[in-house]
Structure 1
């Protein structure tokens, strides 16, 4: 059984937090879901992003997700892997130096980091993509390349692994993304 940290915030993408949180527990892993400035028992709001034929995804209110651990007490050394869902949360979480330090600690310890969709914004802000081939939501491609990464333009239901980084463009990739994370674990 692995101990996995799931890092999220308000308006995280609904499927991208709910599915890995439940699926990783289903296969026997412990998953601690945290958010800066919130504690176990607090909730975060999610957003549902969908692909409905528009030029970009649509967004609708999602569910309230209950956190089960305290961000203020977590350390990378306590965990075997890090999961970073997308949505709008990464956009503002990347402004938090403690979040960036935590991601850097996972990278320095060469532990698996699985980021999906806009989760790549946290990887780029933490400066852990230099020389790495990673996927993300296509709108994040310029950020990946500006941070020295090689953007992987793959199908929405595919994932890519480069070393300890497992990345995917969006929630349709959950089967491939989670399978590649489980392989690293």
Structure 2
């Protein structure tokens, strides 16, 4: 069954953490509206590529532009079946918008599926929705998870309808677990024979 999903993004969202799930979720038949406060459908956010090259933390390089598919001010959270929050630097400032906080709280109040990756728990903590929950994050965000009353785990974690991952290297397991929570049934047909042309 196809679902209507909402994705909260912002400038300097991590490149792979927004583009890969946005495309993967659509590939299996879900509709995904990517929104950012103070921006309209057709506007773009810039992304950042976080890379792990041996330093004590990630480096940040310019990514791509990512086009928004809906307007934040026009959405109604009640019309969506699930929420996706990529990481990067976007959650750091998205948590300052009251409308974003209200939106996040709606999904938890209604026990709808939520997928959060990397720095996204910064936003979940600001929304006051992680107390008593098991979750993961980028390791440097662990302190915020624990100060918000969450139990931090080192790996993809499913707690009810909340699916969290550490970084984009968790994509396969993180997206698979989210699809499972959504109840997504993927049918694989027989491969098409190669053409003789």
TM-score under structure 1 normalisation?
0.97
In the alignment, what sits opposite 1:100?
101
Instruction: Report the secondary structure of 1:98's partner residue.
Output: helix
Instruction: Report the secondary structure of 1:44's partner residue.
Output: strand
> Which segments of 5 or more consecutive residues in structure 2 lack a partner in the other structure?
183-197
Aligned mate of 1:179, from 169, 176, 180: 176
Deviations along 1:71-117, one digit per CA (max 9) or x if unpaired, are: 00112211110000000000011111110110000100100110000
Q: Distance in 2 between matches of 1:106 and 1:59?
A: 31
In the alignment, what sits opposite 1:70?
71
Deviations along 1:102-145, one digit per CA (max 9) or x if unpaired, are: 00001001001100000111111101101000000000000000
Aligned mate of 2:166, from 146, 166, 169: 169
Q: Distance in 2 between matches of 1:35 and 1:96?
A: 10
In the alignment, what sits opposite 2:112?
111
In the alignment, what sits opposite 2:143?
142
> Which segments of 5 or more consecutive residues in structure 1 lack a partner in the other structure?
none
In the alignment, what sits opposite 1:152?
153
The runs of 4+ residues in structure 1 deviating greater than 4 Å are: none
In the alignment, what sits opposite 1:80?
81
Shift, 1:153, TM fit = 1.9
Number of residue-to-residue matches in the alignment:
181
In the alignment, what sits opposite 1:122?
123
Deviations along 1:56-77, one digit per CA (max 9) or x if unpaired, are: 0110000000001010011221
In the alignment, what sits opposite 1:34?
35
RMSD (Å), alpha carbons: 0.6
In the alignment, what sits opposite 2:188?
none
Q: Distance in 1 between matches of 2:166 and 2:33?
A: 23
Q: Distance in 2 between matches of 1:22 and 1:121?
A: 24
Structure whose CA Rg is larger: 2
In the alignment, what sits opposite 2:23?
22
Shift, 1:50, TM fit = 1.0
